[in-house]
Amino acid sequence: MAVVKLIGAWPSAYCYRVIWALKLKGIPYEYIEEDLSNKSHLLLQYNPIHKKVPVLLHDGKPICESTVILRYIDEIWPQNPLLPADPYERAVALFWIKFADDKCPLISKLSRTDGEEQQAVAKECFEMLEVVEGHALIEGKKFFGGDEINMVDIAFCSVAHWLGVIEDFTGLKIFEPHKFPRLNSWIQNFKLVPVIKDNLPDTDKMSAFLKRRREIPFAYRVIWALKLKGIPYEYIEEDLRNKSPLLLQYNPIHKKIPVLVHDGKPICECTIILQYIDEIWPQNPLLPADPYDRSVALFWIKFADDKVFLLSKLYQTDGEEQQAAVKEWLEMLEVMEEHALIGGKKFFGGDEINMVDMAFSFVAHWLGILEDVVGLEIFEPHKFPRVSSWIQNFKSIPIIKENLPDVDKMYAFSKHGREMMLASKSN
């Protein structure tokens, strides 16, 4: 008897395509859950090109790419066919499968963007739904191909299940049943099919992954500055995926944190907030008094602000793209080592912490956690002795040490978030 195994990841819609196909065909199989944040030798052995799930193993032979796998399954096990027998109808079905493959990644992209970029993605999603409503679903039919589920229905599964979860997560409303009556009817029919209904990822579990609070360096810069100045403040936690009216009121342009509200007046953008704090409360200055020294400090703050994106670039990529991010990290660390930290001083500005140290906090704390998550070692202390000494000094300051995000919590969030993000990119 043929041995069938499926390497998959539970959040991935592409993996569920294969699960449903095998179950609709009545094919027994072994499921192997893959940790996409720490890819196994098995996955790398059987999909060395893309290193993604799903991978179907049939008698030890790997088949990759979900649509390729579905067509293989349909050819090897012809019972309960997933594609029409008629050549023209099959060509039409394959057209819509290709359309789904091209457009459905927009749904997961919604969860990885915000602001104007997210609005642009939402617009594309809406246009995709309009096309499906107006052209793909024949009036009066339960499914894309007629009265029985087929491969086209499976291909559009992201619309049926994943879109709703991501709408809740982002606070967007793209799919409105009255605007898409055929799609709405199809979703209900699709999710009533026993094989589908009994094998959907848990909505609460998916939401929990998406809604974990992201610990970001920018907010901590402001916290440290206020504490170093001895300024009492009220902290308001923001759910960035369901933005509050308060945030939208005080930062209507970028809709991002941090926002400092001083006597009812909002100040936005982290570096601007820090400079405001330093001007309003001059005790324990965060910038040098000398104009030249201050301009040098502002140069390095701008440098750090321009490089902090490397955190997400490392976290959200793999393969060659991730290696390119690693190269950028090493180049940045070399610049810090050779040009920013000089003269045997404890901190960037001398013997006291200042705004430059805060700007580079993502190197001191966040980088190490992401190294563990992605399984890479970028920062090697013996190669960057000045940076290594600075990190130890920076994290020894009581106000910093006592107000850092919890490592275990950040690791758990980052690991699960990366796994889900990579699963959404798998095909």
| pLDDT the model gives residue 418 | 73
**Interval 280-287 mean pLDDT:** 95
- Listed ranges 30-39, 62-71, 139-148; the one with the highest mean pLDDT: 62-71
Task: Report whether pLDDT(215) > 50.
Answer: no
| pLDDT the model gives residue 23 | 96
**Domain ranges in the chain?**
83-201, 217-425
The upper half-sphere exposure of residue 415, i.e. CA atoms within 13 Å in the direction of its Cβ, equals 16
**Interval 134-158 mean pLDDT:** 92
Question: What pLDDT digit, counting tens, does each position of 151-171 carry?
Answer: 999 999 999 999 998 888 777
Task: Report whether pLDDT(109) > 60.
Answer: yes
| pLDDT the model gives residue 213 | 40
| pLDDT the model gives residue 321 | 81
| pLDDT the model gives residue 211 | 56
**Interval 236-262 mean pLDDT:** 86
Q: What CATH architecture is 217-425?
A: Up-down Bundle (1.20)
Confidence bin at 426 (pLDDT 50/70/90): low
Is the CATH code 1.20.1050.10 the one for domain 83-201? Answer: yes
Task: Report whether pLDDT(214) > 50.
Answer: no
Same fold, 83-201 and 217-425: yes
